[in-house]
Structure 1
């Protein structure tokens, strides 16, 4: 073989040999630095021991006999690189230029992509939109596969098992969905990344990070794609897909750098909530994770703070983290805890995903096995004497929020107006419904839960509301949770949401509580729906940490309120834009009720006014400074992430810039 291709084969063999010959040294390093939990840091997983090193890069350079090609994979300037005057140094220090896209002169040639594929062990994927199998103009058209994809389109499993698909395609640009879910009869690549690496080792992440940074490519990180704002998408991007990093290990006694001594577990960043909860049951422990089955523990969920059915007991997901392993923007692989790389540790626990690195694993606290009761029920306006009685029942729920949260419980509910009890069909619809997806009472028996709910239910009885609560109890959290939280429907582009955290003082003020209740009713009357939670970010069983970047407003929250608008599958972009703006503007009502609070970034509004203050609060100045220190070129980006204000997505849809990820990523226009 000749040319780059032949050199690629040699380079791939060189990398394989280097990794193989380095394996004993890497194992020794792991043994020396993090041999046991008692050392204050967990042992590296096998996939974390396979690392890119300067020695490996030197062998690669020798095999290629081409410094320019070898430099594409070199570490950034803040690493231990010794080539201070190299091409990669110059590239790494170029700040804020438009990311290279397919068709640009700087886009890698097919042979360079071939070289990259060999270096990542054949794990490079040339991505296509998942629904492209349904379109005859695409070369991969397959009617049988299309039928399967269409039948499963609304399930989370389909999208999380694809390297670039996301669960809410509105935020990649609605560019390729199967009929009947598509507003158009065409399929385009849109905001779905162009390539993805199915990660199996740390070395592959390092190679991808270095390659993207040195060539100024748009880098995207995907775990499951379960995200409300499209973080796992980006036009022309290269995706680091960590979904299959599924290792886990339990430490009966773990001594953490922050002084914690007790049970803990280390999870690969691809572990999802259902896997963590199952693991907890198997060892007689409980872990703090999301309510949704498909949420990834080590992705944007924990990085964004991470609220949980257990938050009113044990706090946020970010509060549980004792250590983490991370590949930084310069390609280096580190362990971060409260003493080692403490700034990174602080930032990645609440400071948002897609900021300064790719988490490969995290070590979290394990709590005792916890008996749990869940309660599910609903009622509609037809189950009440009148609309006023319906809304009085809602008011009574709000009046009990403080009591419920202070008992360590969690409630996930919907309020709207639709005969199908989904969303709100149209403004002025009076088919009101209330649906308690699940009231979760950790540590409580059925009898204790009944007693806690009795004051609210007494009001419902006095109002002649008909409801039938279903109580489910288990001696462990997993079994109670799994019965109460089935997999959610995803895959549609029909909803735009905004959110607000309402603090305790709102519910201790007669006037503010009345305003909140009136706001709920007004939202539904105007065609919106509410998805809400009674919840706190300060667990009753623990003291909240003071050394992480969780939005401070979470610590005094009693409810996280999501308000949304809907449209049809065939709605035009004009309708999407109009209704999106309406949701953002309506939320001023709740912002005025709680002006000093904020919003949960992972379920927030892309158009949120004062986004940095709302999502990050008083932490933002420090977060932004760390972003510039650890990622000066802006390799990591998301529309709601730290530093997003420096960039714009030059959206190709008929929308304002940065309304989705379907466009070139460039420094913000002045």
Structure 2
């Protein structure tokens, strides 16, 4: 049954000549009516309602008959039958940008919008309200945006805003956060498809591929490297794909039988946790409230407060629905499209397709304890005592991970207990954002922490642990993981996974502690985790592309450098280079390990090995098989070495997304 929306384009004779992609003039036939390009397929129990609304060859034939102009109708065809489309001859050209001769004229965007069911957005930067020379200027809205700029909701509910604007180019930020007095589009996408169905995603994929447009995908914009940004791009916004379904007894094609949850691409971690609690189960998700469960988080491996028990987020996936680069909609599982299934479980997001939903394992309700506390230099008799307390934590990491726990800590020198104010500052702090002890009582958690706390006590360090316990994971997690500040462009980070062997070897463990202190003394800060990607309660699956270093990791350590909001690009460049160079300290301690791609360094040396390890050759081959035109691109993603972002800011190429995307 054809799926129609009232909005249509009657009497196409009213539409004037169209500038075709070969620069010849063609006309659109008269006496026809254009409607939404979608059909509702027969209900399938495993699909959400929006996934049954699809684009098919039959629908495209109707579109072609309505338009009666092959040049235009070919802009929407699938990749496997698009021999006359622009993509076939433009695969090795720079992506088309606004202002280029081949950029679609307004009429083409209007036709696209109608086929989408009026789901196309022509966005402006969120902070444009704050600039009097912008038509969007609104002092009241500016106050609201500025006041909430550091909160996740402001960015996740906007079609283009991202939570790490450094990698967008800092082109339009509110007063107090900007480094110029101007607001420009920068690498915020030019158009956005607000997706509510598979058909809309398919249309966007086909349109971008056939017109050689840059394509990006955004759910929340929670990404350390700004993957949802792209200058001149068409963006697919999956944020409102919020469907969820609980299966008490799911039978997966890999042999798993048990509870499972299916989540749409827009479901965030807090929503998944709430849904799991309501159904008496536990699911694996990120620590941060705003992370999107089904996007780059899971595709990149996905570490979790429960990883030391149940492994990585990618390990949990039983099935996923995907719109591929050719526009076709598939199911990927252990037996269907198994190579896609393997790739999208650890091989990174923005690589070969747009995931519309995932079905993941659910575990029994899990009693959990969390502990939060901190100590600063003011809580210690002297600096030596402070650093002895930090060293004692490093000494106990192995026992903490072996017990199935997870720790998220900050270390720096600042009275605000965030970052490091300057090199040489002695305003030290150690903050355990949360110590998560799954399946443990408060008493059991206290017993596990006792060896560390005994050292703190022996050094006369004052600290006050705050314990939370419940018969489920969600409640203690919610208490211990408040929403983190986002939206500022004042930090450059790099990371390293540290294997078990580092903590078993006295010399390597001592060097790891010494590296913590050296980083702070040099003006850097640390946001670290103790955890492993091999859960103690499960056997990791072998059919994932998770970075192998995760299986032996016992810590994930992020090191960052800071600068002010008004810092010049020269300052940012020098700080970035210093962070990358300093990380050699950790790279030398763990030379055979790697780094978590979703929280990694854009300048990471030997990225293929660091982010993907032995999996890279197969991942790259699959990238070429399923996305030969390079439709999907993201900095650090598989195949990114074939492209460069010709950055317009005063930076080297591919340091952010504010530039034309071209083949290398």
* 1:115 partnered with 2:111: yes
CA–CA distance in 2 between the matches of 1:155 and 1:507? 36
CA–CA distance in 1 between the matches of 2:480 and 2:31? 54
> In the TM superposition, what are the counterparts of 1:487-566 in structure 2 within 5 Å?
487-566=483-562
CA–CA distance in 2 between the matches of 1:440 and 1:162? 32
CA contact (8 A) 1:167 1:490 kept: yes
Of the three residues 405, 408, 417, the one matched with 1:412 is 408
Which has the larger displacement, 586-595 or 92-101? 92-101
CA–CA distance in 1 between the matches of 2:365 and 2:88? 48
CA–CA distance in 2 between the matches of 1:163 and 1:3? 33
104 and 403 in structure 1: CA distance in 2 versus 1, 3 angstrom threshold:
same
CA contact (8 A) 1:500 1:561 kept: yes
CA contact (8 A) 2:246 2:262 kept: yes
SS at match of 2:293: coil
Q: Which protein is richer in helix relative to its size?
A: 1
92 and 285 in structure 1: CA distance in 2 versus 1, 3 angstrom threshold:
farther
CA–CA distance in 1 between the matches of 2:87 and 2:124? 29
Match of 2:353 in 1: 357
CA–CA distance in 2 between the matches of 1:658 and 1:358? 23
Match of 1:66 in 2: 69
SS at match of 2:323: strand
TM-score of the two chains, using structure 2 as the length reference? 0.95
> In the TM superposition, what are the counterparts of 1:219-618 in structure 2 within 5 Å?
219-618=215-614
The alpha-carbon deviation at position 456 of structure 1 amounts to 0.7
Q: Deviations over 1:101-140 (max 9, x none)?
A: 0000010001100111111110100011100111112111
CA–CA distance in 2 between the matches of 1:162 and 1:287? 27
Of the three residues 44, 60, 69, the one matched with 2:47 is 44
CA–CA distance in 1 between the matches of 2:311 and 2:622? 25
> In the TM superposition, what are the counterparts of 1:91-110 in structure 2 within 5 Å?
91-92=87-88, 94-110=90-106
CA contact (8 A) 1:200 1:245 kept: yes
The alpha-carbon deviation at position 97 of structure 1 amounts to 1.4
Please provide the CA RMSD for this pair: 1.4
CA contact (8 A) 2:29 2:68 kept: no
Q: Deviations over 1:609-644 (max 9, x none)?
A: 001110000000000000000000000000010000
479 and 235 in structure 1: CA distance in 2 versus 1, 3 angstrom threshold:
same
The alpha-carbon deviation at position 475 of structure 1 amounts to 1.0
SS at match of 2:107: helix
SS at match of 2:259: strand
Match of 1:39 in 2: none
44 and 654 in structure 1: CA distance in 2 versus 1, 3 angstrom threshold:
same
Q: Give structure 2 stretches of 5+ with no counterpart.
A: 1-10, 17-27
Match of 1:27 in 2: 42
Of the three residues 107, 124, 127, the one matched with 1:128 is 124
SS at match of 1:27: coil
Which has the larger displacement, 213-222 or 143-152? 143-152
Q: Deviations over 1:166-200 (max 9, x none)?
A: 00100010110001111111111001110000000
* 1:53 partnered with 2:56: yes
CA–CA distance in 1 between the matches of 2:195 and 2:535? 35
CA contact (8 A) 2:119 2:194 kept: yes
112 and 469 in structure 1: CA distance in 2 versus 1, 3 angstrom threshold:
same
The alpha-carbon deviation at position 92 of structure 1 amounts to 3.6
CA–CA distance in 1 between the matches of 2:306 and 2:30? 51
CA–CA distance in 1 between the matches of 2:121 and 2:646? 25
Q: Deviations over 1:312-365 (max 9, x none)?
A: 010000000000000000000000001100000000000000000000000000
The alpha-carbon deviation at position 367 of structure 1 amounts to 0.5
Match of 1:40 in 2: none
The alpha-carbon deviation at position 91 of structure 1 amounts to 2.4
CA–CA distance in 2 between the matches of 1:225 and 1:274? 15
CA–CA distance in 2 between the matches of 1:526 and 1:367? 44
CA contact (8 A) 2:370 2:468 kept: yes
The alpha-carbon deviation at position 93 of structure 1 amounts to 6.0
CA–CA distance in 2 between the matches of 1:94 and 1:650? 18
CA–CA distance in 1 between the matches of 2:625 and 2:145? 43
SS at match of 1:400: helix
CA–CA distance in 1 between the matches of 2:515 and 2:245? 47
SS at match of 1:87: coil
The alpha-carbon deviation at position 95 of structure 1 amounts to 2.5
> In the TM superposition, what are the counterparts of 1:190-209 in structure 2 within 5 Å?
190-209=186-205
Of the three residues 606, 629, 633, the one matched with 2:625 is 629
TM-score of the two chains, using structure 1 as the length reference? 0.94
CA contact (8 A) 1:347 1:548 kept: yes
428 and 495 in structure 1: CA distance in 2 versus 1, 3 angstrom threshold:
same
CA–CA distance in 2 between the matches of 1:135 and 1:127? 16
Q: Give structure 1 stretches of 5+ with no counterpart.
A: 36-42
The alpha-carbon deviation at position 14 of structure 1 amounts to 3.9
SS at match of 2:255: coil
